[in-house]
Structure 1
Amino acid sequence: MNQDEQWLQEQKRVDYTIEKMKKEKQELLSKVKAVRGEAQEIRNTFWEDVTVNLDEPDDVVETSASVRQQAELLAERERSYGHMEENAKKLNRMIDSPYFARVDFHEADEPSEAIYIGISSYLDDEGEYLVYDWRAPISSIYYDGVPGPVSYRAPDGIREGVMDLKRQFLIRRGKIEALFDTGVSIGDEMLQEILGAHANTHMKNIVATIQKEQNQIIRDVKSNLLFVQGAAGSGKTSVALQRIAYLLYRYRDSLDSEQIVLFSPNQLFNHYVAKVLPELGENNMRQTTFLEYAQSRVGKTLKVESLLDQMEASLRAEKEEAGEMARIKGSLGFFRAIEAYAETLLKSGLLFRDIRFKGETIISKSDIAAMFYAYGESYSLPNRFQLVSKQLLKELERVAKEERKKPWVEEEIELLGQDAFLAAHQYAERKARKNRDDFSGSAYEKEFLARKIVNRRFSSIRKSIKQYRYFNAKAQYLDFLKQVPEFVQDAAGPLDAKTRAAFREGSLLFEDTVPYMYLLDLVTGRKTSSSIKYVFIDEIQDYTPIQLAYMRFLFPYSKFTMLGDLNQSIFGTTGYSPMKLAHEIFGEEKAQVVYLTKSYRSTSAITRFTKEILQDGEKIDWFERGGNLPVLSVTGSESESITKIVDYAKKLSKESHTVAIIGKSRKQCAQSYEKLHAQLELTFIEKEYSELPEGIILIPSYLAKGLEFDSVIVLDASADTYHDDSERTLLYTVGTRAMHHLILISNGPATTLLAGVPENLYVRE
């Protein structure tokens, strides 16, 4: 067959498959309508179909069984139409593009079978596969193999055979737009087509173009720790999401999305990746940021400083002393010091608060301490807190009885409404009948009302006791910081001054967050989630050693996947290797490191340019995709810079869906926003809880992490803005957000960080 005939044959199969899918979708929607109607009918007539009789114990049991039976019938109908709706949505996603690849495979003397691969499996009426799920075992030969001898791991062991053909498709709106036969993992033609497309406000799934080394990461089920070091644009995050989809498929009987958590750099990034798994027919895993987790753990008493706030502070010139302080508090040695300090608290030293009511101490902190240390060292600190809380609640009840006799209670009784007095009267009548006492009604009423008032006033104290608020966590942490030199060798002196000032303002510094939570956990009890089976951490290079150690502490039974790029640390070189550290914390058994060195996001011109910004960076290769050289435009004034930015933004927006003007900091962006806004229609993304719009945006560097844009304009690449060698990785990160066009505007002389970039790799204006 010549290529035209092959194309025609393949289009006929696409048409046949889509026709089958459309027919099944219509049948499903009809069934959904019918079953949903049944469910609504059950809801409307629920109590008409239930026999309610509560006269005798047997009748109560019968009524309960009748209610349960009706509820189960309703739940079954709702599950049924919910499942059919999901199948209809899956078919809807596949109808435009039912599959993206074909491999012809045969075992031994068996005839060759054409296997078509798409985002989900699809079977015809006879149970034959028209499309195989990309996660199915046999589909791995498409990603890993080339025509010739191949093998794949099936549930019953290794299967071997021969791949006779490897074909890739681009199908849009039911029509084949491109068809390639290839002898490599994923043909360059297909990558050129897909990578040349415009950026989107949401991350796209990459199942059609997964490379062999990416597939190794996605299908890894043996490693307890999988560490992915990937260059900018190498598909780290995309691969992580496909890995989640694969795990949900592989272990669909024992794993659900609620048992997987992804820690991402910020909420803006969470919005960006939110559609990938639903496109593949899976529910999203739990998504959070470290800040969100910390804030939920610390509660409302302290506002946790975010990584973004710390970034802003570090971008100001106040970082020498603060940087050293953060380094000590973020070290593994500091983590061990907290453990050593907590050990000393077994004998003495815990700090408590008085329990007060109406301005008076009702249980003193010294009495609480005496209760606490009455238990010997064989009792752990968390166990003692449970026991002491029970004692305190008993003591509170004794105090409450005394309080009911006090004058303030009588004063409040006078202010009660009619409903309270009616309830008191009914209580008094019941009590009088029970005690056969007709003469103490008013006393019983007063007893009822006094107890009601005191209980209401004491309810918040009971709650605070149950939540261990009598423990003075802030004072305890400050006490630890004063004693740090006893536990940490290179701590020159007390580390509590900035922390104390922050506590007074109701905030918790970023570098204090993990030590504070860890001390709280060791003292009052670990708040872990044993239900989490897989933990994914993105942008691992921005995590401190103490954060990684704390993650292991929080999720002791989970498997970890860590993704990062040492070249994209927003704080510059950190002086430690996250990979080496992860091995130290998690152990080397069943640990795997995978390197993704090829960048696919940017044109080869942009990748060559940004690679040269780094010195001694990790190895970076590029995918050969044509495009214009980056432009460095040096201006003589701020107004000239603004004019250049406006001109470029207007020009690029005509050929780009997304144009990002990226500033170094939020402050720098805010200063430029008014001038730009007067001449451009643009959106200022200054908070991480934003959604990413199309068009022209203005965004600080650290919020742009992990995102990609058709065109990037660096707001100011001058020597005044990027002057420190530690900012190389930050400038590199900004430049690597660009897919097709990169423009650097410099207000005054350009940063010396570009001095090592060969002049033939960019255009200078």
Structure 2
Amino acid sequence: MNQEMDFLTEQNKLQEVLNILSKEILMYLERRKDVAKYILESRKKFIEEYKDDEDQIIDYFDHENYIKEEAYKTIDKRLIEFTSLKEAPYFGKISFMEEGNLPEELYIGRYGLTLEDGSEPIIVDWRAPISSLFYKGNLGESSYICPSGEMKASILSRRQIIVKKGELKGLFDSAVDVKDEILQMILTENSSDKLKDIVMTIQSEQDEIIREDKNKVVVVNGVAGSGKTTIALHRISYLLYNFRKQFGDKVLIFGPNDIFMDYIAQVLPSLGEGGIKQFTFENFAKRELDIENQKIKSFGSYIEDAMNGDKEALKEYKYKSSRNFLDLLNKGAEDLNKNYFNIKSVNFNGEEIVGIKEIEDLFNLHYKYMPLFRRSEKIKRVLISKIKDKRDEVVYKLNEEMKEKIAALTKDEVDIETVNLEYLRRMKVREIVRHVITSREELDKWINHECIIDLYKNLTNTQELGYMDLSGILYLMIKLDGKKIKEDVKHIVIDEAQDYSIIQFEVIKELTGCKSYTIVGDSNQRLIELEEEPAMLNLQELFNKDKSKVEVKEYSLTKSYRSTQQIMEYATKFLKEDKIIPLVRNGEPIIEEETFSDEEFTDTLISIIEDYEEEGLENIAVIFNGKKELREISSMLKQKISIQSFENEDVLYKGGRVLIPAYLAKGLEFDGVIVVEKDEIQSLVKYIMCTRALHRLSVIRKQ
């Protein structure tokens, strides 16, 4: 009976909130109409009044108009949020009591709603500090962090509320638990809206990371399906909501490939955020090196070569990812600092104007704090200034001599000799200019430096540049030239960070000067296993080696929410350590098939795809070890069914059937996965392939 009463009470509350939302939407539509009318009339009037004054037209966006333009954007944003809330205004309710106060109730939603004439919020945004009480996962004594400090509160009850298309579908009173019925319900859905719905099901350990201090380097080592990417994206949303002035448009995301970037780009707008800069490390590095149009060996090509047994590619990948390679670059930079410039004195017309000792002091004392090539460019300007000073001194003496000679002439001689003296003066000035040119040419011979890319090639004995060289070149540019990026970056997200070398982390830190990070990855998901532990797990030294020390906070997530228990138990067989705790969500057994001909293989593959689709699975991936196997099967398969091939990173995935190599599938998830095993696959790669599956997994061995 109580359950029925609760349901009826929540139904009435929902209707009340929906009515308020409808009124707010109508009011904001009217406001938008008024603002739009004002802007258009103002523009028309201004342009007519100043049609002959181009400068005035350009400057017409005065303060009042700027305010109106910004008001339009704000109204538009709120309308988008209110329209979203009409579908599902909130997903949770919490009852709590702060010290000395009466019990309070709050409804938690994707966005907040407070009426202009009201002080109490009708819906509280999930990113607000007080909303953390909803995600704590326990009743009783608790606390939350607000701008004024820690606030203690006692959580009396916690309710999860399911609303779909404005209708109340269910209520659950519980502490957050991995066996939570709502979590189970969300996870059994298909993959398309999974990332968007996480605000309903954020677990307490995930929420702790999302709300971690903004001035830290947060490192998350999480197993496949533990929600690493969703944590990172929701942390961005949380930071922007609470500290928009600080972070604003200054967030940068690094992802593993363009397919993945497109995948997460669909999520940020649903969190109310857009315009966030996104790069793969490769594209970012090529932009900074200004070689965007040059063809270099891509990250994918290294992986392909290594997986196909190319020992040289594997050796290069391992070496250029290692600390030994970093040591080589550091030693190279150190040697260049000591020995690069063969310092010579600066002379002018045979006279020494700056001695070697004075120039050595400029390098080793006065400007020692500057990187070598920036230092040399500074010193070059100083020395050129000395040459100019000497030039000015000689020209001054010449002019004084001429004045004296003219003064010594009689009145009759002046008319005759002045022209000759002026001609002579000009000839001597030309001679002085030639001495200046000679001095500068002599200076250029020893103080100019080579292109850093060429220096890198010589230092590392590299002929053709590839992905593995990009971070090394940038590292030398930082060391030798003090390179920085132009943008102001205040928070950086690095996803799939297990494949980043220590040099890449060094480069990102030094180029941006950023001190706030969310770094997520899985040490079990390295495409190429290295002797060294992933650099992401050893960042303490990097962020604490200079004066501006930054706290590195590490989290380990061992619970997997993505796949069924059967899929996770199968996948963990390929790990050396079984440390994954799968969510108890039962599914179908893993299908393992062996085929002995091309025809048998394609028939089996098509049959499994059809079975998946009959079960209602929408996004199905056939995952290969590499592109070589994919190409061998692609044309044969496409003769029988319609399926998309991912052979390059610049293909957009909009759902449905897809053929994809393992290294491009990293970070993605699919309703059903079919792993193709032609040759032997590395254990960690097999683990990555299997853990892309949400609901169904099959393995076909092709003999």
Give the shorter-chain TM-score range.
Answer: 0.7 to 0.9
Residue 602 to residue 469, structure 1, CA distance change in 2 (3 Å): farther
Q: Kindly provide the amino acid, as one letter, of the partner of residue 144 in structure 2.
A: Y
Residue 37 to residue 389, structure 1, CA distance change in 2 (3 Å): farther
**1:673-728 CA-partner distances (Å, limit 9, x unpaired):** 111111111111222122212221111111111111100011x224x242xxxx11
- The alpha carbon displacement at 1:279 in A equals 1.3
Secondary structure in 1 matching 2:538? helix
Q: Does structure 2 conserve the Cα–Cα contact (< 8 Å) formed by 1:201 and 1:694?
A: no
- The alpha carbon displacement at 1:529 in A equals 5.2
Quote the residue 2:209 is aligned against.
Answer: 217
- The alpha carbon displacement at 1:298 in A equals 2.1
Secondary structure in 1 matching 2:21? helix
Of 660, 679, 691, which residue of structure 2 is paired with 1:736? 691
Task: Kindly report which structure 2 residues correspond to 1:472-491, keeping only aligned pairs within 5 A, or say none.
Answer: 472-481=451-460
Quote the residue 1:309 is aligned against.
Answer: 301
Residue 381 to residue 469, structure 1, CA distance change in 2 (3 Å): closer
- The alpha carbon displacement at 1:88 in A equals 0.5
> Separation in 2 of the partners of 1:149 and 1:325?
55
Of 640, 645, 657, which residue of structure 2 is paired with 1:696? 657
State whether structure 2 residue 492 is matched by structure 1 residue 519.
no
Q: Kindly provide the amino acid, as one letter, of the partner of residue 664 in structure 1.
A: N
Quote the residue 1:630 is aligned against.
Answer: 590
State whether structure 2 residue 1 is matched by structure 1 residue 4.
no
Task: Kindly report which structure 2 residues correspond to 1:253-292, keeping only aligned pairs within 5 A, or say none.
Answer: 253-256=245-248, 258-292=249-283
Quote the residue 2:467 is aligned against.
Answer: 510
Residue 201 to residue 697, structure 1, CA distance change in 2 (3 Å): farther
Task: Kindly report which structure 2 residues correspond to 1:595-610, keeping only aligned pairs within 5 A, or say none.
Answer: 595-610=556-571
Quote the residue 1:236 is aligned against.
Answer: 228
> Separation in 2 of the partners of 1:598 and 1:142?
20
Secondary structure in 1 matching 2:540? helix
Quote the residue 1:86 is aligned against.
Answer: 77
Quote the residue 1:47 is aligned against.
Answer: 47
> Separation in 2 of the partners of 1:111 and 1:201?
39
Residue 659 to residue 580, structure 1, CA distance change in 2 (3 Å): closer
Of 88, 91, 97, which residue of structure 2 is paired with 1:97? 88
Residue 542 to residue 344, structure 1, CA distance change in 2 (3 Å): same
Quote the residue 2:33 is aligned against.
Answer: 33
142-151 vs 77-86, which deviates more? 142-151
Quote the residue 1:673 is aligned against.
Answer: 634
Task: Kindly report which structure 2 residues correspond to 1:75-474, keeping only aligned pairs within 5 A, or say none.
Answer: 75-108=66-99, 110-124=101-115, 125-185=117-177, 188-200=180-192, 203-221=195-213, 224-256=216-248, 258-300=249-291, 302-319=294-311, 321-346=312-337, 348-349=339-340, 376-378=363-365, 379=367, 380-385=372-377, 388=380, 471-474=450-453
Residue 313 to residue 32, structure 1, CA distance change in 2 (3 Å): same
State whether structure 2 residue 574 is matched by structure 1 residue 613.
yes
Quote the residue 1:547 is aligned against.
Answer: 504
Of 538, 553, 565, which residue of structure 1 is paired with 2:495? 538
Secondary structure in 1 matching 2:584? coil
> Separation in 2 of the partners of 1:620 and 1:387?
58
- The alpha carbon displacement at 1:294 in A equals 1.2
Residue 322 to residue 392, structure 1, CA distance change in 2 (3 Å): farther
Q: Does structure 2 conserve the Cα–Cα contact (< 8 Å) formed by 1:230 and 1:564?
A: yes
Quote the residue 1:648 is aligned against.
Answer: 608
**1:493-534 CA-partner distances (Å, limit 9, x unpaired):** xxx2xx22x2xxxxx122222222222333333124572121
TM-score in terms of structure 2 length: 0.82
Quote the residue 1:745 is aligned against.
Answer: 700
Q: Kindly provide the amino acid, as one letter, of the partner of residue 476 in structure 1.
A: L
Task: Kindly report which structure 2 residues correspond to 1:58-69, keeping only aligned pairs within 5 A, or say none.
Answer: 68=59
Secondary structure in 2 matching 1:624? coil
> Separation in 2 of the partners of 1:8 and 1:641?
56
Q: Kindly provide the amino acid, as one letter, of the partner of residue 188 in structure 2.
A: G
Q: Does structure 2 conserve the Cα–Cα contact (< 8 Å) formed by 1:572 and 1:728?
A: no
- The alpha carbon displacement at 1:470 in A equals 7.7
- The alpha carbon displacement at 1:265 in A equals 0.5
> Separation in 2 of the partners of 1:707 and 1:350?
50
Residue 222 to residue 280, structure 1, CA distance change in 2 (3 Å): closer
- The alpha carbon displacement at 1:602 in A equals 0.5
Residue 140 to residue 187, structure 1, CA distance change in 2 (3 Å): farther
Residue 67 to residue 311, structure 1, CA distance change in 2 (3 Å): closer
Q: Does structure 2 conserve the Cα–Cα contact (< 8 Å) formed by 1:102 and 1:117?
A: yes
- The alpha carbon displacement at 1:350 in A equals 6.6
Residue 516 to residue 532, structure 1, CA distance change in 2 (3 Å): same
Secondary structure in 1 matching 2:539? helix
- The alpha carbon displacement at 1:736 in A equals 0.3
298-307 vs 193-202, which deviates more? 298-307
Quote the residue 1:491 is aligned against.
Answer: none
Quote the residue 1:406 is aligned against.
Answer: none
Residue 201 to residue 158, structure 1, CA distance change in 2 (3 Å): closer
- The alpha carbon displacement at 1:376 in A equals 4.0
Residue 206 to residue 392, structure 1, CA distance change in 2 (3 Å): farther
Residue 24 to residue 202, structure 1, CA distance change in 2 (3 Å): same
Residue 53 to residue 620, structure 1, CA distance change in 2 (3 Å): closer
> Separation in 1 of the partners of 2:522 and 2:109?
30
Residue 20 to residue 187, structure 1, CA distance change in 2 (3 Å): farther
Residue 121 to residue 389, structure 1, CA distance change in 2 (3 Å): same
Q: Does structure 2 conserve the Cα–Cα contact (< 8 Å) formed by 1:232 and 1:736?
A: yes
Quote the residue 1:367 is aligned against.
Answer: none
> Separation in 1 of the partners of 2:474 and 2:75?
45
> Separation in 1 of the partners of 2:341 and 2:610?
63
Tell me the percent identity. Answer: 31
Quote the residue 2:528 is aligned against.
Answer: 571
> Separation in 1 of the partners of 2:378 and 2:33?
53
Q: Kindly provide the amino acid, as one letter, of the partner of residue 676 in structure 1.
A: L
> Separation in 2 of the partners of 1:731 and 1:70?
58
284-293 vs 201-210, which deviates more? 201-210
Q: Kindly provide the amino acid, as one letter, of the partner of residue 10 in structure 2.
A: E
Residue 613 to residue 391, structure 1, CA distance change in 2 (3 Å): same
Structure 1 stretches lacking a partner, 5+ long: 55-62, 352-369, 396-464, 482-495, 503-507, 749-765
> Separation in 1 of the partners of 2:634 and 2:321?
35
- The alpha carbon displacement at 1:553 in A equals 2.3
Secondary structure in 2 matching 1:310? helix
Q: Does structure 2 conserve the Cα–Cα contact (< 8 Å) formed by 1:260 and 1:535?
A: yes
> Separation in 2 of the partners of 1:286 and 1:469?
36
Q: Kindly provide the amino acid, as one letter, of the partner of residue 146 in structure 1.
A: N
**1:288-324 CA-partner distances (Å, limit 9, x unpaired):** 11001111122237433221111111112212x4333
